[in-house]
Amino acid sequence: MATKEEVELAVKAVKAGFLTKEQLGPAMARQDILAKQGQQVPLFKVLLESKAMTPQQYQLLVQDQGGPGTKTFPGDPIPGFKIGAKLGTGGMALVYRAVDAMDGAEVALKIMKPTHMANPRFVAQFHREAELLEKFDHRHLVKGFQHGRVNGLEYFAMEIVDGPSMREIVEKNGPVTEEQALRYTIQVAEAVEYTHKQGIVHRDIKPENILVTPEDDVKLIDLGFAKPIGSQEEPEGTTSGTPQYMSPEQAQGQASIDVRSDLYSLGATLYHMVLGDVPFKGGDNMEVMAAQVLQDLQTSETKSGKISRHMHFFLEKLMAKDKEIRYQTPREAIEDMRGQWEGMKSLQFNPDSVSRPTFGAGPASGGANPPSRRFGSKPPSPPARGGSGGTSDRLKRPTQGPTSRFGRPFKKD
């Protein structure tokens, strides 16, 4: 019978495309027969003998199980860098703390998983991320230094951030204060504004990709899904990003998206910061993506007194299903948020002393899971604009309020 480790490695082989389920089943059955005959044969020996996998594929697979300094990934494989502790594991790469032998500076070294290097699209994404990070220069974007391919490995070195991700902060301490959340969100919006001016859409803004420095500033990381604005390089219907934070147009697989998609993801991230959870859930990724397209924010969360009326406004504005109703540029969001953040002492909402504003009678989603739906050639459409009590009515800026609690009122449009 296959061991737990063998099964886990076999699953990785299937995901990497080295093996099919139809090949794996007979191999496991053959291993069981041999075991009954008193022969304890490793599963992958059976697979290799049956030619279901090549020795080269097996070597790539076991390399991914370790990292620099392990038996399967020995020594320091990237010349010029002394590799230390692993910092994280992503879908396509491993990230390590490393020291540049030239000047002794600490860096984060991202090394592509060998199993992914056979896919030209993955390699192109990895190269693009490295090149963009080297090109970009912004205080709220992690900086790239160099990239290359040595010893059969793709890598790039980048600025190291000694701090937790926003997700780790929320998981450990619970929701952050609204004042902190606005400050962090403004900084990320400034990074998005910069990438937008460079003609790039990030496509994966989420709490995991926002690191908080010891100085309590943030750095946006991971441009693995970034692409030129308006690019048609991916087929219509292809989705890239994280379902819990992606915009409706991303969830629908629209080929051409712009900065407003990143602003939606920023809104979903802000939601997670102040309420401690994702805006939409589902039994699987398809249900979550359906909710991003079809479901309104839960009023039980946004109108229950857990957040201020101004925070409610920001969430509704950033996460409007209709991208024409959202903030159209990062600068618009920055100006509104900065005006609120700089003009108040506290954004904490007290429902006992201040009545909550009415944003309209949009339909509530309730607590039910969104329906499972596959997006085909006719993906679900977001709610139509206009109409009494609809989204456009809800998202008119509030023009007055008690300044002793909320600071300056929003300026009129």
> 35-44, 336-345, 349-358 — which is least confidently predicted?
349-358
% of residues, the chain, pLDDT over 90:
45
Structural domains in the chain plus CATH codes: 4-63 (no CATH), 81-158 (3.30.200.20), 166-406 (1.10.510.10)
Confidence at residue 403, expressed as pLDDT on a 0 to 100 scale? 31
Both tokens of 386, joined, read 């206009």
Handedness of CA 406, 165, 143, 119 (dihedral sign): negative
More confident residue, 263 or 361: 263
Say yes or no to pLDDT of 240 above 60.
Answer: yes
CA-closest candidate to residue 397, choices 297, 308, 316, 303: 316
Q: Is 335 exposed, middle or buried (0-12, 13-18, 19+ CB in 10 A)?
A: middle
Contact (CB, 8 A) for 84 and 99: yes
Say yes or no to pLDDT of 402 above 70.
Answer: no
User: Which residues 6+ apart lie within 8 Å of 5 measured at CB?
Assistant: none
Confidence of residue 361 (pLDDT cuts 50, 70, 90): very low
Query: Rounded mean pLDDT of 10-16?
Result: 80
* Torsion angles phi and psi, residue 149, rounded to 5: -135, 120
Query: Rounded mean pLDDT of 360-385?
Result: 36
Confidence at residue 190, expressed as pLDDT on a 0 to 100 scale? 98
Rounded Cα distance, 411 and 317, in Å: 15
* Mean pLDDT over the full length of the chain: 79
Confidence at residue 360, expressed as pLDDT on a 0 to 100 scale? 31
Contact (CB, 8 A) for 51 and 41: no
Say yes or no to pLDDT of 364 above 90.
Answer: no
Confidence at residue 131, expressed as pLDDT on a 0 to 100 scale? 96
Say yes or no to pLDDT of 398 above 50.
Answer: no
Contact (CB, 8 A) for 126 and 93: yes
CA-closest candidate to residue 293, choices 247, 235, 242, 362: 247
Query: Rounded mean pLDDT of 46-75?
Result: 66
Confidence at residue 249, expressed as pLDDT on a 0 to 100 scale? 94
Say yes or no to pLDDT of 160 above 80.
Answer: yes
Rounded Cα distance, 140 and 238, in Å: 29
Confidence at residue 187, expressed as pLDDT on a 0 to 100 scale? 98
Give per-residue burial for 229-255: e unless 16+ CB within 10 Å, then b: beeeeeeeeebbbbbbbbbbbbbbbbe
Contact (CB, 8 A) for 389 and 361: yes
Query: Which tens digit of pLDDT belongs to each residue from 256-295?
Result: 899 999 999 999 999 999 999 999 999 999 999 999 999 9
Q: How close are the terminal C-alpha atoms of the chain, in Å?
A: 69
Amino acid present at 7: V
Active site residues: 204
